[in-house]
Amino acid sequence: MESTALNRVAELRAAVEEHNRRYYDEAAPTITDQEYDALYRELADLEARFPALASPASPTQKVGGAPLKAFALVTHRAPMLSLDNTYSEEEVADFYRRLQRLLPDAAIPVVVEPKVDGVAVSLLYEDGRLRYAATRGDGTVGDDITQNIRTIRSVPSQLKGRPPKILEVRGEVFMNKEGFAQLNAARLEAGLPLFANPRNSAAGSLKQLDPAITAERPLGVVFYGTGAVEGAQLTKHSELFAILQELGLPATERWWMAGSVEETLNAIRELDRVRHDFAYQTDGAVVKVDAFGQREALGFTAKSPRWAIAYKYAAERVETRLHDILIQVGRTGVLTPVAALEPVTVSGSRVARATLHNEEEIQRKDIRIGDMVVIEKAGDVIPAVVGVRTELRTGAEREFRMPPNCPECGSAVQKDEGQVAIRCVNSQCPAQLRRRIEHFASRGAMDIEGLGEAMVTQLVGRGLLHDVSGIYQLNATKLATLERVGEKSIRNLLDAIRRSKTRPLWRLIFALGILHVGVSSSRALADHFRSVPKLMESSVEELQQISDVGEVVGRSIHAFFQEPLNRELIKALAASGVKMVDDTPRAEASETSPFADSSWVITGTLSEPREQIAETIIGRGGKVTGSVSKKTTYLLAGDEAGSKLEKAKKLGVRVLDEKEFRTLLES
Active-site positions read 115
Q: What are the angstrom distances between the C-alpha of 302 and each of 78, 85, 203, 396, 398?
A: 14, 15, 26, 54, 52
What span, in angstroms and rounded, lies between the C-alpha atoms of 201 and 68? Answer: 17
| Cα four-point dihedral sign 156, 157, 161, 164 | positive
In this structure, the dihedral spanned by the alpha carbons of residues 579, 581, 584 and 590, taken in order and rounded to 10 degrees, is 180
What span, in angstroms and rounded, lies between the C-alpha atoms of 161 and 243? Answer: 10
What span, in angstroms and rounded, lies between the C-alpha atoms of 254 and 280? Answer: 13
What span, in angstroms and rounded, lies between the C-alpha atoms of 651 and 647? Answer: 6
599's enclosing H/E stretch is: strand 599-603
What span, in angstroms and rounded, lies between the C-alpha atoms of 522 and 547? Answer: 10
Partners of 324 in the β-ladder: 340
Q: HSE-up of 16 (CA within 13 Å, CB side)? A: 23
> What is the 8-class DSSP label of residue 38?
H
> What is the 8-class DSSP label of residue 342?
E
What span, in angstroms and rounded, lies between the C-alpha atoms of 639 and 654? Answer: 17
Q: HSE-up of 146 (CA within 13 Å, CB side)? A: 14
| 2-20 vs 33-49: helix crossing angle, rounded to 10 | 150
* Residue 120: Cβ-neighbour burial (10 angstroms; 0-12, 13-18, 19+): buried
User: Residue 55: which residues within 8 A CB-CB, separation 6 or more?
Assistant: 61
> What is the 8-class DSSP label of residue 116?
E
Q: What are the angstrom distances between the C-alpha of 325 and each of 302, 423, 424, 626?
A: 50, 17, 18, 41
What span, in angstroms and rounded, lies between the C-alpha atoms of 343 and 351? Answer: 5
For 264, other C-beta atoms within 10 Å of its C-beta total 25
